[in-house]
Amino acid sequence: MTNTLFALVIPAILALVALIGLRRRVDVFAALTDGAADGLRVMLKILPSLIALLTAVYMLRASGATDALARLCAPLFNLVGIPPETAPLILIRPISGGGALAVGSELIVTYGADSRIGRTAAIMLGSTETTFYTIAVYFGAAKIRKTRYAIPAALIADLTGFTVAAVTARLFW
Amino acid sequence: MAMAWIWTIIICFSLAYGAFSGNITQVSAAAAEGSAAAVKLCIEILGITCLWSGVMEVMKRAGIADKLASAFRPLLSRLFPSVSKTGEAMRAISANVSANLLGLGNAATPLGIRAAEEMAKTVGGGTTNVATDDLCMLVVINTASIQLIPATVAAVRAAAGAAAPFDILPAVWVTSAASVTMGVLAAKVLSRVWRRRATQAHNLGRAR
C-alpha cells in the first residue's frame, strides 16, 4: 500500500510541475531542456575529479585498507548504530563533494543499493553537505577570519545527520 | 591544495597497505578499474540528474522557488533576529534556502554569498573580521542543507540496480530535518558559550 502510494510521488511531481509551469505561461519544454543542458555541464565538470577520486577509492578498497578501517571503527560505530563500513564516507563527506560521491557510490555498488549499508550511504550522501568547502566559501566571501563556533556547530549537525541516516535506514526498511 | 594531499595520501597508503597485506595485484588492477568505473558511473547517472536539473529549472521559471522563499521567510526571520525582516539580506537568505531545497546548488551559493555580504554591510560596515551570530547561523544552515529531491543519489542507486531508487526520500527528509535542527540548536547554544568566553576574556584583560 505505502509502496503504491510512494510510486505515485515522482510521476505526480513531474505532472504537477509541468501543469503549474503551463499555468504560469512558462515554456515547460524549453525550461526542461535548458535545465537538462545545465545538468550535463555540471556532470562534465564533475567527471575529471571523479576519475581521479574513484581510482583512489578503488585502490584503497583493493588494498584491504577500507575493510581494516571499518574493523578499526567498528566498536565505536556499533555503539551508536552506524554500519562501520560507512566510515570512509563519513571521513570524506565534510571535505570533498566529489570524494563523497566516489566513496558513496562505491559503497552502494559493492554492498547493493537495497542493502542496509547501501541505503545508509545513500541517505548520508543525500542529507549532508561538503561542510568545510561551504564554510571556506562563505567566510572567504565575507572576509571573516574568526569563525567562532561555526565549525563545531556545523560538525554537530553533520554527526547528527550520519547517526540519524543509520537510524532511518534501519527503521524504514 | 587539500585535495592534492588527500589524493596522494590515499594512493601511497593503498600502495603500502596493499604490499603489506599481500593485495598488491588487486591494487594494481584497481588502479585501472577506478577510472573506467568513474566514466561508467557518470554515464549511468547522467539521465536522472539531467532530467531533475530540468524539472528544477521549470520550478524556478514557474516562480515556485520564489513562492518557497516567501513561505520560509517568517521562520527564517526568527532564526536571524538582527536581520531586517524586509531587507535585502533577508530576501537573499530565503532565496538561498529555497534554492538549496530545490537542489539548485549553482544558484544557492551566489545567493548565500550575497546574503553574507549584505549582513556584513549592516554590521560595522564590513570592517570586522569576526563572524556574527547571523553569519554563523547562515553557514550552519547551508552546511546542513535540506534537499527535497536528492537526484544524484537516486541516480547512483538506480545505476546500482535499486528496486525503487527514490524510496530513500522520506529517510533523507527526516535525516536532513534532524541534522539542520540540531545544527540550529547547537549554533544558538554555542553562541552563548562563546559570548560568555569573550566577556570573561574581556574582564580578565581589565582586571590586569
Q: What are phi and psi of A146, to 5 degrees?
A: -95, 105
Q: ipTM strictly over 0.85? A: yes
- Tell me the C-alpha distance between B60 and A2, whole Å: 30
Q: Provide, rounded to the nearest whole percent, the portion of chain B with pLDDT above 90.
A: 71
Q: Hey, is the C-beta of B106 within 8 angstroms of any chain A C-beta? A: yes
Mean pLDDT value of segment B115-139: 82
Q: Looking at the predicted structure, is the pLDDT value of residue A5 above 60? A: yes
pTM for the predicted model, two decimal places = 0.92
Judged by CB atoms closer than 8 Å, whether chains meet at B59 and A17 is answered as yes
The answer to whether residue B12 scores a pLDDT higher than 60 is: yes
Task: Using the predicted structure, report yes or no on whether residue A15 has a pLDDT greater than 60.
Answer: yes
Q: At B138, phi and psi to the nearest 5?
A: -60, -45
Ordered by start, the domain boundaries in chain B are 37-207
- CB-nearest partner of B176 from A26, A101, A127: A127
Q: What is the pLDDT of residue B127?
A: 65
Mutation for B interface: A2, A9, A63, most B CBs within 10 A: A63
- Judged against a pLDDT cut of 60, whether residue B25 lies above it is answered with yes
Residue A144 is predicted with a pLDDT of 86
Q: What is the pLDDT of residues A92-141, one digit of tens each?
A: 999 999 999 999 999 999 999 999 999 999 999 999 999 999 999 999 88
CB atoms within 10 A of CB A51: 19
- How far is Cα A159 from Cα B17, in angstroms, rounded to an integer? 28
The rounded distance, in Å, linking the Cα atoms of A14 and A9 is: 9
Q: What is the pLDDT of residue A143?
A: 85
Which residue among A21, A23, A52 sits closest to B61, beta carbon to beta carbon?
A21
* pLDDT band at B205; cut points 50, 70, 90: confident
Asked if the Cβ–Cβ distance from A42 to B106 is below 8 Å, we say yes
Q: What whole-number distance in Å separates Cα of residue A112 and Cα of residue B38? A: 17
Q: Fill in the amino acid letter for B15.
A: L
Instruction: For residue B125, name the pLDDT band (cuts at 50, 70, 90).
Output: low
Q: How far apart are CA B189 and CA B208, in angstroms?
A: 29
Instruction: Give CA–CA dist B202/B208, Å, rounded.
Output: 10
CA distance, residue B112 to nearest chain A CA (Å):
8
* Cα separation, B177 vs A57, whole angstroms: 30
Query: How far apart are the C-alpha atoms of A154 and A124, rounded to whole Å?
Result: 15
Given a cut of 70, is residue B82 above it in pLDDT?
yes
- The B residues from 82 to 101 touching A (CB cutoff 8 Å) are none
Residue with cell 563519513: A90
Whether residue A88 contacts residue A71, with contact meaning beta carbons closer than 8 Å, is answered with: no
Mind listing the pLDDT tens digit for each residue in A42-69? Answer: 899 899 999 999 999 999 999 999 999 9
| Comparison of pLDDT for B107 and B126, the residue scoring more | B107
The predicted structure's pLDDT at residue A2: 62
Q: Which residue shows C-alpha cell 546542513?
A: B144
Torsion of CA A87, A89, A91, A96, to 10 degrees: 170
Give chain B positions within 8 Å (CB) of A96. 2-3, 6
Share of chain A above pLDDT 90, in %: 86
Look at residue A141 in the predicted model and tell me its pLDDT: 84
Model confidence over B51-74: pLDDT tens digits? 999 999 999 999 998 999 999 999
- pLDDT tens, residue by residue, B136-165: 999 999 998 788 899 999 999 999 999 999
Q: CA-CA distance, B55 to A32, in Å (whole number)?
A: 6
